[in-house]
Structure 1
Amino acid sequence: MALFAVCSAVFLTALDQTVVVTALPQVITDLRLPPMLLDRAAWVVSGYLLGYVIVMPLMGRVSDLYGRRLILTLCLGIFALGSLLCGLAPQLGERVPLSFLQPLGIDTGYPGLVWLVMARFLQAIGGGAVVPVAMAVAADFYGFARRGIVLGLVGMVTEAGGMLGPLYGSFVVQRWNWPAIFYINLPLVALLLALILLFVPPSHRQQDLPAVGTRRIDWPGSLVLGAALLCLSLGLAQEATLFTAAPGPASATGNVHNNYALLAAAVVLLAAFIALEHFLARRRHWPVLDLVLFRKTTFSAAALTNFLIGAALIIAMVDIPIFFLTVYNQDSMQSGWALLHLTALIPVGALLGGCLCQRLTCRWTAIIGLLCAALGFWLMHLWPLTVDWTLITVGALSSGFGLGLVIAPLSTTAVNAVDSRQLGMASSVVTITRMIGMILGLAALTSWGLGRFRELVALFKAPASAPPLSPAYNALYFRYITDAAHTVYTSIFLAAGILCVLACLPALWLEGKRPRTPSDLQHADNTASANISIHHTDQPYVQESEASRSYGQRKK
């Protein structure tokens, strides 16, 4: 029941990662956002993801210090408050002034949107902590032999929430309106809090918690890490928009310097964070991220593999709908159906990966998943200019299944590499590396793709028989830009496959031992009993006692 409670909380918070995707058109209309500022509406989604990433290391560490139940209760309360403010964002925009944000350079011309983005960020602060704490609860209750399958279950629930979010949001919007998406969270959170208070103990291992006077939280480190991720996200996002801007004085002035300044600030803040964490570790304080973890080869391998997998996954989830809208000229339903081919098997692969960890070890389960995902991306690279559902289905299903298969091996390796006091930190780090990979991979490859597309379009030359803007010229130009878009997107799919192949290298250092099953333990007990019998018949009584003590130590 404790596992059911935390998995339900994970599903709800993961659902809200993507629940507003299908509701964005109505959100834009209700908040009176003009079409030329649609990029700002994207922060309704990315603001939640950014808050999700920033809070994970902090709350994973806090759960190690104060216990799982208290932190789950607190974070679900914050999530409920953020959900309430999201639903009230239009009214707050009309009644509460935001002039205090103008000195920070934030445009408050659309206060309803600003309130919604801030509320989504607050919502993510509560939701972002649920995943690592839930993984830590699962690791608390289940030992080494069964840990792979329960962590695979948590990963399956997380992916299922992200997959069903758009469908759930579309259903709610059609029945009611977009604020109802957030109001429904309130009774659901109340039910989850009751389950957590009933079935999740204050701390599964009370003796593992440090003394009250020594429970120090690294708030400065959390703030510096959050600022570094924020600067990095903003800098890379703005860098991507440069490729879509028309050439001229406007694109060659302040924006470029601001982008470089943000990226440089991110590097400086990251260096300051590393130095601060080293200082706190030497002073024997509790850093938000214990860098000693990365000295363990298996943990570093899991983090690096997850980073590369995150980049490949977000490329597929973003580019498949755009590919269908631009190259195949299909509507949003068809593009959503194509994306479902990818996401449908991710939770199935996550659950199966947890089972295979006990049979094939984490190392080989992850490598099989990565190769399967790479094969799927290569098939997606071969998608033709006309719709071929057979090739589309095989490629997308193979990629999704392979990406799901690696979730449990990475999580299992990470938590098995640390002691019980660091389970929350380890599970949060291995999750945050995946989301950082999403941010960087999407920004880098999207920037490259947009730049490459502009280069190809600039090379278009119509024959002399087709004067500019004539029907023949327009037909040739449309066909050319469609071919250019097809070339760019298939190249991006190929790059995602290469990332999966590269991820096989750190995956070779994942945990390579097969967990001992109950049958293995029974066989060991039988062997020990036979050895005791031999000692009993052939050796004096003193040696029998020594053998008995040895057997007791082994059994313990």
Structure 2
Amino acid sequence: MYTLEDDKETTSSLRKRELLASSQTQGAAGPSKGETGDAQRLSLSAQVTNTFKKITTPTKAPTGGKGAALAALTMACIGVFFTAMDQTVVVTALPPIVNDLNIGVTKLDHAAWIISAYLLGFVIAMPLMGRVSDIYGRRRIFILCLGIFGAGSILCGLAPVFGQMSDLGFLNAINVDTSSPGLIWLIAARFIQAVGGGAVVPVAMAIASDFYGPQRRGLALGVIGAVTEAGGVIGPLYGALIVQQFGWQYIFYFNVPIVIGLIIAAWRLIPGGTHTREGIDWIGAALLGLALTCLSLGLAQQGTDLGPTPANAPAPQNNPISIGLAIVFLIAFVLVERKVRWPVVDLSLFKRLHFSATSLVSLLVGAALIIAMADIPIFVDTVLQQSVLDSGLALLRLTAMIPVGALLGGWLCSRITCRFTAVLGLLFTATGFYLMSRWPIHVDWNQITISTVTAGLGFGLVIAPIGTTAINAVRAGQAGMSSAIVTSLRMVGMMLGLAALTSWALAYFKQLVSTYPSLPLSATAAQFANWSKG
């Protein structure tokens, strides 16, 4: 876990930064000698804590003692919890969303963007907004981020209404399928929601660091990191409960009163004023976002060629232009990051073999995780014809084991080696996925439990070795950036894995349908829609 010793380095950096600012000298404070040893005790929650923020001292210090600090920490935790929960809250709601928005079974890859759009916005916003709050002030940016998240939530709930009222035919000119306008509105709203939600996380951590001194800051930031993980774990079950009782739109509507309460609390608890005057790499962030978007589109579209297309299926919509643009934007991003003073990503870290290997593992683990989180609820809902709540409970067997595995993985890393722990976790994950691949149509719940618990434990076991190895592979002063990249790559893997999976699965589905000429594709789509109502 993130220990109090880590705050000694932070305090030293703060003092050096203040001296540099007073003499109008540009630069950053150097790391302390003890940081390398301390890094070995960092858990994932601590990495997220130390990842996206350069902690600075506010010009107007918070007042009010322990009571005000506890209130601010509680406010920050609530905000982080709900924004993190929205990463996974829709996975159990996908079947009813697909049905309500009239998304055909041959276009399920489009529905995957309901999840991918949020991940994309989250990845873009997280590295930037902590620095933005340094420049423009914690209270102003925290309230702005909450407002964006709340506005995006309202737009998500109203997506079907906007879809019926609007004519999006002009998008056909850029090869966008407009057969489901409500889906287009929902995807756009999810991205807006994610920009606000992803920004809340680093700003909340900065707020906690402002209110808590060196002796207590580590605990406060650790709490926020733990709450972030808890939001992702609880999201699917929470979504299932809301869908079953109220409907999927209320997954988003219920965010609004929470946001209003947090805005009021932020105005009362967080001091105003600005902090420091550092640069922001807006160009790098924009190029990274464009590259990831084009790559996701390219993967989804290219996937339709992975099998022969039957005569009664739509023609493939291959678009190599998306892949080409992704490469162009990625090259431009690399060139920009090598020259800017405050890069979003420090590319020099990838020269270290252990760090590069860890980054690749994090990317692949993220891809595998989102595949399980997206497919298990759909399987339970459509194949087993169980309720949405049962879908959430099935997925909970996996997600609940992730923090258990993370704790065990941290212990094993300190007792054996990170390499052994990571390999063990990957073997558990592979075993769980193999067992899931053997599920029959009438699988019983014992088989589901064994498979999902095994996979969830494996995912958890990998977390600590990835984080520890990434930090130990770099210099002490690069620990924060190292953690940032590894954590972000896990989310990028989730986004790209979902795009690739849905396109491949759809191509395979079309191939299977072609062997049953007596079953029109439209009839299959109708059957899927009927299942999803359950």
- Same fold, TM exceeding 0.5? yes
Is 1:273 paired with 2:330?
Answer: no
Equivalent residue number for residue 52 of structure 1: 122
Task: Say what the alpha-carbon RMSD is for the aligned residues.
Answer: 4.5
Q: Aligned to 1:398, which of 451, 454, 470?
A: 454
Query: CA deviation digits over 1:5-53, x for unaligned, max 9?
Result: 4333222012222333444555456556666655544433332223223
Matches within 5 A, 1:406-421: 406-411=462-467
Deviation at 1:291, TM superposition (A): 1.5
Q: Distance in 1 between matches of 2:329 and 2:404?
A: 39
> Partner of 1:225 in structure 2?
288
Contact 1:242 1:251 in 2 (8 A): no
Confirm or deny that 1:331 pairs with 2:386: yes
Q: How big is each residue's C-alpha offset from its partner over 1:121-160, in whole Å with a ceiling of 9 and x where there is no partner?
A: 100111123345556777896989996x887765653443
172-181 vs 28-37, greater mean Cα deviation = 28-37
Offset of residue 437 of structure 1: 1.6
Contact 1:22–1:169 (8 Å) recurs in 2: yes
> How far did 1:399 drift?
1.6
Note closer, same or farther for the CA distance 1:72–1:296 as it changes in structure 2 (3 Å cut): farther
Judged with a 3 Å threshold, the aligned counterparts in structure 2 of structure 1 residues 145 and 359 are, in CA distance, closer, same or farther, namely farther
- Could you say which residue in structure 2 is the equivalent of 1:347? 403
Report SS of the residue matched to 1:387.
Answer: coil
Which structure is higher in helix share?
A: 1
**Distance of aligned partners of 1:360 and 1:104 in 2 relative to their CA distance in 1, 3 Å threshold:** same
For residues 30-86 of structure 1, the C-alpha deviation after alignment (integer angstroms, 9 at most, x for no partner) is: 556666655544433332223223333333554576676654443222111211222
How far apart are the structure 1 equivalents of 2:282 and 2:295?
Answer: 20
Of the three residues 324, 333, 342, the one matched with 1:264 is: 324
Out of 480, 485, 489, the position equivalent to 1:429 is 485
Amino acid at match of 1:54: I
Shift in alpha-carbon separation, 1:358–1:188, aligned structure 2, 3 A: farther
Work out the CA distance in 2 between the residues paired with 1:142 and 1:295: 36
Mapped partners of 1:216, 1:393: distance in 2:
50
Matches within 5 A, 1:129-528: 129-133=199-203, 156-193=226-263, 212=277, 215-243=278-306, 246-248=309-311, 255-256=317-318, 258=319, 260-280=320-340, 285-295=341-351, 299-321=355-377, 329-332=384-387, 335-350=391-406, 353=409, 366-380=422-436, 387=443, 389-411=445-467, 423=480, 425-444=481-500
Structural mapping, 1:536-547, within 5 Å: none
Q: How far apart, CA to CA, are the structure 1 residues paired with 2:427 and 2:133?
A: 35
Q: Does residue 143 of structure 2 align to residue 80 of structure 1?
A: no
8 Å contact 2:312–2:514 — kept in the other structure? no
CA contact (8 A) 2:92 2:392 kept: no
| Residue identity opposite 1:247 in structure 2 | P
Unaligned runs of 5+ in 1: 461-467, 471-556
Whether 1:115 and 2:185 are equivalent positions in the alignment is yes
Distance in 1 (CA, whole Å) between partners of 2:216 and 2:139 is 24
Change in 2 beyond 3 A, CA 1:369/1:318: same
State the shift of 1:345 in Å: 1.3
User: CA separation of 1:383/1:143 partners in 2, compared to 1, >3 Å: closer, same or farther?
Assistant: farther
Tell me how far 1:410 sits from its aligned partner.
3.7
CA contact (8 A) 2:109 2:503 kept: no
How far apart, in 1, do the equivalents of 2:206 and 2:462 lie? 19
Deviation at 1:94, TM superposition (A): 5.3
C-alpha separation in 2, matches of 1:41 and 1:87: 16
Name the aligned partner's letter for residue 241 of structure 1: T
Rate the CA distance shift 1:370–1:72 in 2: closer, same or farther, 3 A. Answer: farther
Question: Which of 1 and 2 has higher RCO (CA within 8 Å, sep 6+)?
Answer: 2
Local SS of the residue matching 2:338: helix
Closer, same or farther: CA 315–99 of 1 in aligned 2, 3 Å: closer
- Letter in structure 1 aligned against 2:159: A
Bigger Cα displacement from structure 2, 50-59 vs 153-162:
153-162
Q: CA shift at 1:173, angstroms?
A: 3.7
Q: Aligned residue for 1:523?
A: none
Does the C-alpha gap of structure 1 residues 185 and 241 become closer, same or farther in structure 2, counting only changes over 3 Å? Answer: same
Whole-angstrom CA distance in 2 between matches of 1:38 and 1:322 = 11
Distance in 1, matches of 2:222 and 2:178, equals 43
* 1:153-212 per-position Cα deviation (integer Å, ceiling 9, x unaligned): 656534433343333233334443443332221221233345556777889xx9xx7x52
Question: 1:227-259 CA deviation, whole Å, 9 max, x = no partner?
Answer: 111111111112233457733598667x23x1x
Take 1:362 and 1:6, find their aligned partners in 2: how far apart are those partners?
A: 32
Distance in 1 (CA, whole Å) between partners of 2:162 and 2:509 is 41
Equivalent pairs, count: 447
Checking the alignment, whether the CA contact within 8 Å between 2:132 and 2:141 is kept in structure 1 is yes
Q: Which has the larger radius of gyration?
A: 1
